[in-house]
Structure 1
């Protein structure tokens, strides 16, 4: 690759800008991604189109639809999101790796103290690592790679061996076998590698990215390395919410399935983290030099989690032998390798528990505590990392407040100044992290709650307006029933009006249905629930009672232990 405007090479799903929609006919739209909420939604989609790609692991179907079919799907309560248009993703490194000889030091591995793991017999054996990138070359140091090319547009496929340079380099950092390429050895050479090649001549298509995520979930990959990225400005269509974008939804599906997702922060040297690294739950990785100084190209931001070596890294060359390169694309696989070693050591721990081990044992750089420059610090396999248990460096709620300080300040100011505050997307997230707010902010949130008349019900808080079942047993019972004192008018309640939040973040994995009488709302958990407090609410906008009266907000709290 060449040194272009957006430093080519390390992370960067860099979108090349909006690609105009083409159509087979005047009423047909290509590159449509449809996410469904239920089997009924899936059937509705398939009824509309004959030639479609089913991505069952992420609850999506992609294909070509008529404008009329799109409108019908958008109007259905069984459909989560209909997304039209495509983007191009691109790998990015700072300076193309150039083969060279007689490289004698592996400073990057010394910096992350991976020898501590090797001395304990850890090499990542039994751990499945997926790499969404370009292809991976046939290299003596990578003898066992399961490869899949996922480029839907055949004209974008290139058979030149150089097209595998980026993916091969990334794979080498993770899993290069010792003694096969000079001094190069992967952080976790015992892992099982799964290569998902989505990098066409003009970059990677969004639908191909979704397909790769789908395969990774189906193949039960433990960790996904994504040395690609894109800025929020380039990612979103006009007026599109991040949470409605297919990239975001697909990655969240992987996280919900228990996959650890590690992604590069970006190479623009700006205070903004690219996507998918910026998605909550993804491990966002920046880059440092040999001196532990931040690499000049490494993006920063409040959602950054860790940094790792990313300047002048030596790894595998697509043509055989080794090469050198720089970028957050190459700091990212260091963290992926460390997580693989921890997964081998603690196979029964959750993704979050393993990630917390890395965070708690990182070398704190910059100001004390997590910051926007280095995150929790330099990732390493410290001598203390294999302790019996590790407490989170900070709670999810505390992290949400730290990361969203500016946003929270604006919302609270709007509350105090009696300006418009969106009940679901602004008030509810703040309410779920009330204990982490300042005293003044807590007061503002409570005053606003009373102003809008939001009723709280839980195992300890009762109301004559509404009650619910299984406040503390939702994890095992999988269902709860809301009982309205005054029935709601079913025709005014859209499925999308219900929302679930936990620690400031919106949570998926629930279905809601309103009875014909409007007396009952049935909640069903479709996935295993993590520990914590879940806040479920109904957006009162446009909702009416059977007596045609407005409905005031309700918040139902569930505790999962």
Structure 2
């Protein structure tokens, strides 16, 4: 979470550096914004966006709202829902700035380059204007997303695990929704925060410009993948820009990558999309999956190519247990029964026919002998 906003309820977990550039037209600010776009070349977005742009895909951003009037976002933001009594903006305003920042990394155009520029962000705030989250408001937001057929969710804030949230996440898994969540900042001792730590959620950590683990990225067995997080240029409300550091940035970048895959290959299941990302990640740290990098650094181009080789599989059915974030479940189905006679009945009919024929033969032979 960006330091200096009103969302004090998770500041300890999501605190990060923030340099706001309120005069982006000046030389120094322009240089800072350009420098903070390092992730674009690092991720080879030119090649990735030649393969896919996220056209038509929607990403539900459950955050602080979005300033949809920002030049980097105009035309790419859709209203969500209001779950707090004091909000009546349908997510189309942002007094904190955090949601606007993440929206730019997902669908930005112009001075902020989003990963999936032709996708759309649906802004679903999970906190009030004053910064306090309502009870179970994130669960309500996810349920709203499911009801509206949105297949990608990005969450960069933490909530306390409870039965309602757990049930909601299972519901999302059953509805074939990919949930991307930030692992949290400066909380290595506490480990990955919730809901990133929930089964089935793709937990995203952060890296620096060299691709090494960011000093602010939380670690633990739930980390799924890592993406750029440090010194990233983002959009801010009121036509401002900033350079920020935090795993929130990483989660938005990965959500954009999910939009590229789902937009290009809409028949792939949520688990297949996650598998395409994790199986092609660039291994870092200890060989194989580890507590710092998960499966490794995201490689969007490789993930898109891998997705193109996958055969669509059955989407998961709602159940009481959520699948793991990296497994791919294939639901085997039997062919529909065809109308007609069953095998046992057919055997009985044939046997009866043979018996009747035998009786007729005996009668005919008997009559012939009498004659």
Matched, 1:293 2:215: no
Correspondence for 2:177 among 255, 259, 262 = 259
Distance 1:168 1:93, change over 3 A: farther
The CA distance in 1 between the partners of 2:154 and 2:245, in whole Å, is 17
Indicate if the aligned counterparts of 2:64 and 2:94 stay in contact, CA closer than 8 A. no
Aligned to 2:351: none
Indicate if the aligned counterparts of 1:111 and 1:380 stay in contact, CA closer than 8 A. no
Aligned to 2:44: 113
Indicate if the aligned counterparts of 2:281 and 2:296 stay in contact, CA closer than 8 A. yes
Aligned to 2:34: 104
Distance 1:502 1:148, change over 3 A: closer
1:386-425: CA deviation from partner (whole Å, max 9, x where unpaired): 145359xxxxxxxxxxxxxxxxxxxxxxxxxxxxxxxxxx
Indicate if the aligned counterparts of 1:135 and 1:149 stay in contact, CA closer than 8 A. no
Indicate if the aligned counterparts of 1:150 and 1:211 stay in contact, CA closer than 8 A. no
Distance 1:290 1:251, change over 3 A: same
1:164-194: CA deviation from partner (whole Å, max 9, x where unpaired): 41000000000012x3xx3x21100101221
Structure 1, gaps ≥5 residues long: 17-88, 236-241, 392-474, 479-498, 506-528, 534-561
Matched, 1:359 2:278: yes
Could you say what secondary structure the match of 2:278 adopts?
helix
Distance 1:161 1:132, change over 3 A: closer
Aligned to 1:389: 309
1:432-470: CA deviation from partner (whole Å, max 9, x where unpaired): xxxxxxxxxxxxxxxxxxxxxxxxxxxxxxxxxxxxxxx
Aligned to 1:168: 100
Aligned to 1:207: 136
Aligned to 1:216: 145
Larger of the two Rg values belongs to structure: 2
Aligned to 2:187: 269
State the 1:347 CA deviation.
1.1
The CA distance in 2 between the partners of 1:124 and 1:97, in whole Å, is 30
Structure having greater relative contact order (Cα 8 Å, sep ≥ 6): 2
Matched, 1:92 2:14: yes
TM-score, normalised to structure 1's length?
0.50
**Aligned length in residues:** 312
TM-score, normalised to structure 2's length?
0.74
State the 1:274 CA deviation.
0.5
Could you say what secondary structure the match of 2:133 adopts?
strand
The CA distance in 2 between the partners of 1:14 and 1:164, in whole Å, is 11
State the 1:500 CA deviation.
6.9
State the 1:116 CA deviation.
1.8
Could you say what secondary structure the match of 1:261 adopts?
strand
The CA distance in 2 between the partners of 1:2 and 1:502, in whole Å, is 31
Greater fraction helix: 2
Structure 2, gaps ≥5 residues long: 333-371
State the 1:160 CA deviation.
12
Could you say what secondary structure the match of 1:119 adopts?
helix
1:305-328: CA deviation from partner (whole Å, max 9, x where unpaired): 001111111011112142111111
Greater fraction strand: 1
RMSD: 3.5
The CA distance in 1 between the partners of 2:132 and 2:229, in whole Å, is 22
